[in-house]
């Protein structure tokens, strides 16, 4: 029986915690300082990619900071899992926000998700620079591709 | 020396629209004074016609305005003749024309071209591309530990007798001013054609072509208060004659038949297609407007802001400065230890401080410095002391948020 890699399992636990605890705090935070402070802390508990995982084939093209996305499909449960790392804290936090909403879902569940809304955080997304926006779009595209969805 | 910063800033309608924005991305593009906006708009409103070819009075008027703009640029850079001014879309276009134009006419297999480690991609990639195809060697002047060009290495590479030396006046990342006057003389002594990329230099020091005596000098209009899409390729006439045109068609042709085509004379030979007439008029307006201000006083003001910025940044131990305080045209590149430059830029953007972060179209420079990018603050004379103070406060806030 194919098993998930340790990295993906560890990430899944962390993402669940974030979804339950930090995500509500993030949506409730009023001023930009607390929002960004939280966002930058979000990626911290995620297991970091070591040099062997910072591979070019995991690299997201179009990000202004280097960013790596790893995808695993669990055939038995038909669930999709991801892990992510980036040199930059804000992009990592934003992608974590997206991932904790979709990690461990089946394709049937994923088709009901509005991917373009995954980063929709009041007062964050609209304020991102054009290069950041492009990076996030590149991540979304890759997520959809890996999940076998049309982007 | 007088420089009325309030009066100067009032020339820019942009700041009325953005009263709370601190714009420190001037090396990317500058804002435009009313004189430029009025000149370009006025052209379209009152004189719009194609130049050099119409059989009507309006075309004659448009041509006069367009050619007068050329005269204004020629006077600004102290050219020897108006034909030395070739319009192009910007410095990148001009550098592409030079690389393309010299390959096969001046540069042959086995020849060498010399550039530097702190060039903008526009002064690297065209050379790289054409040199590789033609078997021309491309040499690179390396940096010193203080991120200035290593002049000893420059001498050593000049001894290899490059046919072309192409160097930027001011580094677009660091703000460092190269000793171009001396470097041009040294390059000429070995018989090289000299090119100065003035994209960042033009706005910090009005260049004098007869004094500098380089063969070519290029700059973009939008980095000196002018419109985007217009720039200048200055060249001495014999050297301009050497260039193979990058583009063909339009006014650059004298006679066409299917057995052969004769090209027009300079400057038209290198200006294919309908030129950016409104842009040229706008750029000339920018230069004429700029000269109404006390240049030394303006430079002094910008230097004061720069020193204030350096002093402010130096108080934070976590800040790693890449730019040197001395010999700097008004740019500060820095990083915060352990943090990514794009995070710093985003947190500054949240505080209405507009900066640029990344490799600034100069990846080889970052490779040479051994880092993956930087935050760049670039100043203009319309920036104020208060804006620098706000920037320092905003950076203190960023540092606090990273803790």
DSSP for residue B224: G
pLDDT of residue A125: 65
Q: What is the pLDDT of residues A54-107, one digit of tens each?
A: 888 888 877 778 889 999 999 999 999 999 999 999 989 999 999 999 999 999
Q: What is the pLDDT of residues B257-268, one digit of tens each?
A: 888 888 889 999
Q: In whole angstroms, what is the distance from residue B171 CA to residue B166 CA?
A: 13
Cβ–Cβ < 8 Å for B91, B122: yes
DSSP assignments along B279-310, one per residue: HHHHHHHHHHHHTTS-HHHHHHHHHHHHHHHH
Question: What average pLDDT does range B296-320 have in this prediction?
Answer: 97
**Bridge-partner residues for B177, per DSSP?**
B170
* Chain B residues within an 8 Å CB radius of A36: 346-347, 350, 401
Question: What average pLDDT does range B349-367 have in this prediction?
Answer: 93
The β-bridge relationship of strands B164-168 and B112-116 is parallel
Q: Which tokens in the block code for residue A27? A: 């949506």
Beta strand extents in B107-199 (DSSP E only): 112-116, 137-141, 164-168, 193-197
Q: In whole angstroms, what is the distance from residue B287 CA to residue B33 CA?
A: 11
Cβ–Cβ < 8 Å for B1, B303: no
pLDDT at B27 over 50: yes
Q: In whole angstroms, what is the distance from residue B14 CA to residue B304 CA?
A: 23
Q: Which tokens in the block code for residue B276? A: 């950016």
Cβ–Cβ < 8 Å for B198, B207: yes
Higher pLDDT, A129 or B277: B277
Report the residue of chain A nearest B394, measured CA to CA.
A33
Question: What average pLDDT does range A7-13 have in this prediction?
Answer: 93
Please tell me the CATH code under which domain A6-146 is placed.
Answer: 3.90.1010.10
pTM value? 0.93
For chain B, the farthest-separated pair of C-alpha atoms sits apart, in whole angstroms, at 73
Q: Which residues of A lie closer than 8 Å to B, measured between beta carbons? A: 32-33, 36-37, 40, 64-66, 87-91, 127-129, 131-132
Question: What average pLDDT does range B219-248 have in this prediction?
Answer: 97
Q: What is the pLDDT of residues B75-98, one digit of tens each?
A: 999 999 999 999 999 999 999 999
Q: What is the mean pLDDT of chain A?
A: 86
Question: What average pLDDT does range B135-160 have in this prediction?
Answer: 96
Closest CA to B320 of B401, B399, B387: B399
Closest CA to B98 of B118, B72, B71, B127: B127
The SS3 call for residue B386 is helix
Cβ–Cβ < 8 Å for B81, B266: no
Q: In whole angstroms, what is the distance from residue B309 CA to residue B268 CA?
A: 45
pLDDT of residue A1: 47
Give CA angle at A69 (A67, A72), nearest 5°.
170
Residue boundaries of the structural domains of chain A: 6-146
Subunit contact B358:A64, Cβ cutoff 8 A: yes
DSSP for residue A88: S
The number of angstroms, rounded, from the C-alpha of B324 to the middle of its chain's C-alpha atoms is 20
CA distance B275 to chain A (A): 30
Higher pLDDT, B139 or B257: B139
The SS3 call for residue B355 is coil
| Catalytic residue numbers of A, as ranges | 63
Chain A contact present for B401, CB below 8 A: yes
pLDDT of residue A126: 63
Give the full edge-to-edge strand order of the sheet including B319-321: B319-321, B331-336, B374-378, B356-358
Chain A contact present for B358, CB below 8 A: yes
Cβ–Cβ < 8 Å for B193, B184: no
CA dihedral in degrees (B172, B209, B91, B121; nearest 10)? -50
Question: What average pLDDT does range B377-384 have in this prediction?
Answer: 98
* R_g of chain A, CA atoms, integer Å: 15
Q: Kindly indicate the confidence band of residue B35, based on its pLDDT and cuts at 50, 70 and 90.
A: very high
Least confident of A118-132, B33-47, B381-395: A118-132
Cβ–Cβ < 8 Å for B230, B85: no
Q: Kindly indicate the confidence band of residue B324, based on its pLDDT and cuts at 50, 70 and 90.
A: very high
Beta strand extents in B169-230 (DSSP E only): 193-197, 216-220
pLDDT of residue A29: 82
pLDDT at A151 over 60: no
| Catalytic residue numbers of B, as ranges | 361
Q: What is the mean pLDDT of chain B?
A: 96
Report the residue of chain A nearest B359, measured CA to CA.
A64
Give CA angle at A42 (A36, A45), nearest 5°.
150
Q: In whole angstroms, what is the distance from residue B144 CA to residue B149 CA?
A: 6
Q: What value of ipTM does the predicted structure carry?
A: 0.89
Q: Which tokens in the block code for residue B111? A: 């020849």
pLDDT of residue A122: 63
DSSP for residue B121: G
* Chain A residues within an 8 Å CB radius of B343: 40, 88-90
pLDDT of residue A2: 62
Give CA angle at B145 (B140, B148), nearest 5°.
55
CA distance B344 to chain A (A): 9
Beta strand extents in A4-150 (DSSP E only): 67-74, 79-86, 105-106
CA distance B338 to chain A (A): 10
Question: What average pLDDT does range B340-360 have in this prediction?
Answer: 94
Which domains occur in chain B, in start order?
A: 5-24+294-402 (3.90.1150.10), 37-290 (3.40.640.10)
Closest CA to B382 of B1, B36, B28, B9: B9
* Chain A residues within an 8 Å CB radius of B345: 129
Give CA angle at A99 (A93, A100), nearest 5°.
90
Subunit contact B358:A131, Cβ cutoff 8 A: yes
The dihedrals phi and psi of A58, each to the nearest 5 degrees, come to: -95, -10
């Amino acid at each position: 029986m194919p098993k998930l890699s340790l990295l993906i399992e560890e990430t899944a636990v962390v993402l669940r915690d974030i979804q339950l605890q930090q995500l509500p705090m993030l949506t409730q935070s009023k001023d930009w300082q607390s929002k960004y402070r939280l966002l930058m802390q979000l990626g911290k508990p995620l297991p970091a990619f070591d040099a062997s995982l910072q591979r070019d084939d995991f690299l997201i093209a179009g990000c202004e900071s280097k960013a790596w996305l790893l995808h695993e499909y669990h055939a038995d449960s038909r669930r999709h899992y991801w892990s992510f790392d980036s040199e930059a804290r804000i992009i990592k936090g934003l992608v974590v926000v997206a991932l904790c909403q979709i990690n461990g879902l089946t394709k049937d569940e994923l088709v009901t998700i509005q991917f373009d809304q995954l980063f929709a955080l009041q007062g964050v997304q609209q304020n991102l620079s054009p290069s950041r926006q492009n990076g996030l779009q590149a991540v979304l595209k890759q997520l959809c591709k890996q999940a076998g969805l049309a982007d | 020396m007088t420089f009325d910063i309030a009066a100067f800033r009032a020339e820019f309608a942009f700041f009325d629209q953005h009263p709370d924005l601190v714009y420190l991305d001037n090396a990317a593009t500058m804002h435009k004074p009313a004189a430029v906006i009025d000149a370009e708009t006025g052209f379209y409103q009152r004189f719009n016609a194609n130049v050099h070819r119409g059989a009507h009075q309006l075309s004659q008027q448009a041509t006069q305005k367009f050619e007068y703009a050329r005269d204004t640029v020629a006077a600004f850079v102290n050219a020897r003749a108006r034909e030395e001014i070739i319009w192009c879309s910007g410095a990148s276009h001009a550098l592409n024309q030079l690389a393309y134009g010299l390959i096969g006419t001046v540069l042959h297999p086995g020849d060498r071209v010399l550039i530097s480690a702190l060039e903008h991609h526009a002064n690297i990639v065209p050379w790289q591309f054409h040199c590789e195809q033609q078997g021309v060697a491309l040499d690179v002047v390396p940096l010193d530990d203080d991120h200035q060009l290593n002049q000893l290495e420059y001498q050593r590479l000049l001894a290899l007798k490059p046919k072309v030396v192409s160097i930027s006046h001011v580094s677009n990342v660091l703000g460092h001013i190269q000793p171009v006057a001396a470097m041009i003389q040294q390059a000429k002594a070995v018989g090289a054609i000299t090119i100065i990329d003035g994209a960042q230099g033009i706005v910090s020091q009005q260049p004098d072509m007869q004094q500098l005596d380089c063969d070519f000098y290029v700059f973009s209009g939008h980095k000196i208060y002018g419109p985007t899409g217009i720039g200048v390729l200055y060249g001495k006439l014999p050297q301009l004659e050497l260039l193979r045109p990058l583009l063909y068609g339009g006014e650059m042709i004298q006679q066409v038949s299917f057995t052969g085509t004769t090209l027009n004379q300079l400057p038209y030979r290198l200006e294919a297609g309908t030129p950016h007439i409104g842009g040229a008029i706008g750029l000339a307006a920018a230069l004429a407007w700029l000269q109404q201000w006390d240049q030394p006083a303006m430079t002094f003001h910008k230097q004061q802001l720069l020193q204030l910025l350096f002093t402010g940044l130096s108080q934070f131990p976590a800040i790693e400065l890449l730019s040197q305080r001395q010999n700097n045209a008004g740019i500060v590149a820095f990083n915060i230890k352990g943090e990514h430059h794009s995070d710093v830029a985003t947190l500054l953007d949240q505080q209405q401080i507009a900066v640029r972060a990344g490799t600034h179209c100069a990846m080889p420079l970052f490779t040479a410095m051994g880092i993956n990018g930087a935050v760049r603050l670039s100043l203009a004379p319309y920036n104020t002391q208060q804006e620098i103070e706000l920037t320092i406060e905003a950076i203190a806030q960023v540092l606090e948020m990273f803790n």
